[in-house]
Chains A and B, each alone.
Chain A
Amino acid sequence: MTDRTRPRLGVFKFASCDGCQLTLLDCEDELLAVADRFDLADFREASSATLDGPYDLALVEGSITTPSDRDRIVEIRAHAKTLVTIGACATSGGIQALRNFADVEEFTRVVYARPEFIRTLATSTAIRDHVAVDFELRGCPIDKRQLLEVISAYLGGRAPDVPTESVCVECKRRGHVCVIVAHGTPCLGPVTQTGCGAICPGFHRGCYGCFGPQDTPNAASLVAHLGPLGMDRPSAARVFRTFNAMAPAFRAAADAAAEPPP
């Protein structure tokens, strides 16, 4: 059933694990209410029905890794009034951006016996590197409350209230014991953007940076503090070079950690 007074929602997938769009289906209490406010124009993971664009709101998951996907995102942008990227793959290229630091032909040979059948780009890049993006929601995976906030803000015609401060701030607010101070556990909380709910420290584990850099990170300084906590420089380089390896602040931190110490 379509109702032209309702905005059209499209959910699109590029290279990814499907987890961020699954987050929408994981809103078990809100899914039917959200679906009631939109015409679901294109959401292949959930529906075989499609409507033509233009899309009022396009949620885009995944990174650009193939020549055809590079063309498809341009097409989607041309038909989307508001385009929001969801998750680390769409905002920073994701874990598959590790190919950007390697020889992708060699990678293809490791996984496939007939690499000539595989059409892929040498890089995995963020959606923003290809088209204009109206809002980027972070996380590997995104947080469901933040996704609902982005959708509510869209429906209310306001900017989403998504904080860009560090995980540390959230950790203090929740009253977690600091894993660095109390347990000497290496933690990326000081340089990582909040949004997850500071879950790793809540489980006595150091943050591993899956929401990418906070707005004013001093990641190079943190690298110097990780060593005495038992995280050697190659390990520090790897932890920054995992789920948000192409986010500029994390990339710089990984490069700094990979250098011999001053």
Chain B
Amino acid sequence: MTERTIAVNYLARVEGEGALRVRIRDRTVEEVELRIFEPPRFFEAFLRGRAYAEAPDVTARICGICPVAYQMSACHAMERALGIRVDGTLRDLRRLLYCGEWIESHALHIYLLHAPDFLGYPDAIQLARDHPEAVRRGLALKKAGNSIMRVLGGREIHPINVRVGGFYRCPGPEELADLRGSVEHALSLAEETVRFVAGFDFPAVEEDYEFVALRHPEEYPFNEGRIESSAGLSIDAEEYESAFEEFQVAHSNALQSVRKGGGSYLVGPMARYALNGDRLTPRARGVAREVGLENVVRNPFRSVIVRAVEVVFACEEALRIIDRYRMPERPWVDAPAVDRPVHGAAATEAPRGLLYHRYELDAGGAIRTARIVAPTSQNQKRIEDDLRHLVARSLDLDEPALTAACEHAIRNHDPCISCATHFLSLDLVRE
């Protein structure tokens, strides 16, 4: 009887602190644990008693990579609790801000975190020594996304201009017009990115995913839509907790999520693309077709292409919004005073996938309970499933090669451990 353990004690090129432990006995994978040791920060607990208006800025601090997602899910959940709707140009500006975050976050992941796996480098800095034009392209793309965040949000990380009901100040038409050149350039860089990543070597793998994402009647989803799945689920965010459940495992500080009565599922770019490919913009669809991207991607390694296609989409969508922008009369919609206990739930599409928030407010408008389910919590169990399959078909690899393959497979899903804790290091036991 032989036992092997593969252990990565601190996963690199992911956001936050996690580890991986795999135990193999007699060529059977006995245990795969994505261990999230990122310290818990207790956001849901200390939100209690705070005014509803504070939730967007407080929850933004869950994640420095996707603060806009937290601000958006918090705003929408509160607006549903308050019975207000944000439409027209203000709604467009929210989509524009989300475009900025997707471009910035996806460019970071594609070039600085994921490309080094495909090209055999420990990081983008060393990648830049041999492929300077590629890394410069990634940084220029990232910068264009950050420019949107800065103009519309005030800063790249933890933007200050988002509030329940809209914004504190709407940009002048000239401020958005100034963005146009850099976003237009970013669109061509994004198309080059799709061609660049489509040239990577991909192992021939197919996983049987249940994809979960928002679906909107007209749009590729950011802020609104029904929560749908490739297995036929279609629910409103208010019904989220009847369809999904979170549970705690001993090896992780992040709760794991499953379909009620079912198993793991996947949120994020692959899910959004599988369920919403028909809603992509013309150039995004065109370049996906040009590189031969299948309509439903089940090879997790090819998620990098999907992410790049989404960057093309986000650039086109940003240009569309910039071009038709007329400064609204008021930067926000007023909310009525809260005079009875109310509650509201909403889900929006963070770069890494569906982000669910639900709040109950007391009769004075203070938060009584808060519930936040991050994309990485939802993907955690599905990432373990991917790893179990990867290890089972790679048993003949030596330790370093198997470890590297596992880390690559984790990065396919761009896990954000900071988000999930409420996540990773590989510890492989071969028995």
Residue A65 at the chain B interface, CB threshold 8 Å: yes
Residue A140 at the chain B interface, CB threshold 8 Å: yes
Stretch from B95-103, B245-253, B349-357, B383-391 at the A interface: B245-253
Partner of B125, one of A22, A29, A47, A113: A47
Residue B33 at the chain A interface, CB threshold 8 Å: no
Residue B283 at the chain A interface, CB threshold 8 Å: no
Asked if A31 meets B139 with Cβ closer than 8 Å, knowing A46-B112, A205-B168, the reply is: yes
A48 touches B13 (CB 8 A): yes
A15 touches B39 (CB 8 A): yes
Docked complex Cα distance between A207 and B151 (Å): 18
Docked complex Cα distance between A39 and B157 (Å): 26
Residue B287 at the chain A interface, CB threshold 8 Å: no
Contacts of B125 in A (CB 8 A): 31-32, 35, 40, 46-47
Contacts of B154 in A (CB 8 A): 199-200, 202-203
Contacts of B167 in A (CB 8 A): 203
Residue A153 at the chain B interface, CB threshold 8 Å: no
Interface centre among B13, B46, B136 (most CB of A within 10 A): B46
B44 touches A44 (CB 8 A): no
B142 touches A28 (CB 8 A): yes
Contacts of A120 in B (CB 8 A): 39-40
Asked if A49 meets B143 with Cβ closer than 8 Å, knowing A26-B157, A44-B12, A111-B422, the reply is: no
Residue B164 at the chain A interface, CB threshold 8 Å: no
Residue A204 at the chain B interface, CB threshold 8 Å: yes
Contacts of A25 in B (CB 8 A): 108, 112
A17 touches B418 (CB 8 A): yes
B135 touches A32 (CB 8 A): yes
Interface centre among B155, B161, B331 (most CB of A within 10 A): B155
A99 touches B13 (CB 8 A): no
Residue A146 at the chain B interface, CB threshold 8 Å: no
A140 touches B124 (CB 8 A): no
Interface members, chain B 44-68 (any A CB < 8 Å): 44-46, 48, 50-51, 54, 57-58, 61-65, 67
B13 touches A110 (CB 8 A): no
Residue A114 at the chain B interface, CB threshold 8 Å: yes
Residue A75 at the chain B interface, CB threshold 8 Å: no
Residue B414 at the chain A interface, CB threshold 8 Å: no
Residue A135 at the chain B interface, CB threshold 8 Å: no
Stretch from A216-224, A235-243, A246-254 at the B interface: A235-243
A111 touches B40 (CB 8 A): yes
Contacts of A113 in B (CB 8 A): 247-248
Docked complex Cα distance between A246 and B39 (Å): 19
Docked complex Cα distance between A140 and B65 (Å): 13
Docked complex Cα distance between A196 and B155 (Å): 9
Contacts of A48 in B (CB 8 A): 12-13, 116, 122-123, 407
| Interface band, chain A | 35 or more
Partner of A112, one of B50, B123, B255, B407: B255
Residue A82 at the chain B interface, CB threshold 8 Å: no
B157 touches A22 (CB 8 A): yes
Contacts of B112 in A (CB 8 A): 25, 46
Residue B140 at the chain A interface, CB threshold 8 Å: yes
Residue B10 at the chain A interface, CB threshold 8 Å: yes
Partner of B157, one of A23, A46, A112: A23
Over the window 97-132 of chain A, the binary record of Cβ atoms lying under 8 Å from chain B Cβ atoms (1 yes, 0 no) is 011001010111011111001101000000000000
Docked complex Cα distance between A94 and B62 (Å): 11
A200 touches B123 (CB 8 A): no
Residue A69 at the chain B interface, CB threshold 8 Å: yes
A200 touches B160 (CB 8 A): yes
Docked complex Cα distance between A111 and B48 (Å): 12
Docked complex Cα distance between A18 and B142 (Å): 17
Interface members, chain A 1-50 (any B CB < 8 Å): 1, 13-20, 22-23, 25-26, 28-29, 31-32, 35, 40, 43-49
| B interface residues, how many (CB within 8 angstroms) | 66
Residue B165 at the chain A interface, CB threshold 8 Å: no
Docked complex Cα distance between A242 and B40 (Å): 17
A47 touches B12 (CB 8 A): yes
Q: Shortest beta-carbon distance, B412 to chain A, in Å?
A: 15
Q: Shortest beta-carbon distance, A28 to chain B, in Å?
A: 4
Docked complex Cα distance between A199 and B159 (Å): 10
A96 touches B13 (CB 8 A): no
Docked complex Cα distance between A99 and B128 (Å): 43
Q: Shortest beta-carbon distance, A214 to chain B, in Å?
A: 18
Asked if A19 meets B45 with Cβ closer than 8 Å, knowing A32-B128, A117-B250, the reply is: no
Docked complex Cα distance between A243 and B15 (Å): 21
A111 touches B65 (CB 8 A): no
Q: Shortest beta-carbon distance, B125 to chain A, in Å?
A: 4
Docked complex Cα distance between A99 and B45 (Å): 9
A108 touches B42 (CB 8 A): yes
Q: Shortest beta-carbon distance, A254 to chain B, in Å?
A: 13
Chain B residue with Cβ nearest A61: B64
Q: Shortest beta-carbon distance, B54 to chain A, in Å?
A: 7
Asked if A17 meets B42 with Cβ closer than 8 Å, knowing A47-B13, A203-B168, the reply is: no
Q: Shortest beta-carbon distance, A1 to chain B, in Å?
A: 7
Contacts of A15 in B (CB 8 A): 38-39, 41
Interface members, chain B 1-38 (any A CB < 8 Å): 10-17, 38
A13 touches B17 (CB 8 A): yes
Over the window 63-78 of chain B, the binary record of Cβ atoms lying under 8 Å from chain A Cβ atoms (1 yes, 0 no) is 1110100000000000
Residue A57 at the chain B interface, CB threshold 8 Å: no
Q: Could you show 13 A-B contacts with beta carbons less than 8 Å apart?
A: A1-B129, A17-B63, A18-B418, A22-B15, A29-B139, A32-B128, A46-B113, A95-B61, A99-B42, A108-B40, A108-B45, A140-B158, A141-B155
**Which 3 pairs between the two chains have the least Cβ-Cβ distance?**
A19-B64, A47-B123, A49-B122
Please list the residues of chain B having a beta carbon within 8 angstroms of any beta carbon in chain A.
10-17, 38-42, 44-46, 48, 50-51, 54, 57-58, 61-65, 67, 108, 112-113, 116, 122-126, 128-129, 132, 135-136, 139-140, 142-143, 146, 154-158, 160-161, 167-169, 247-248, 250, 253, 255, 331, 407, 418, 422
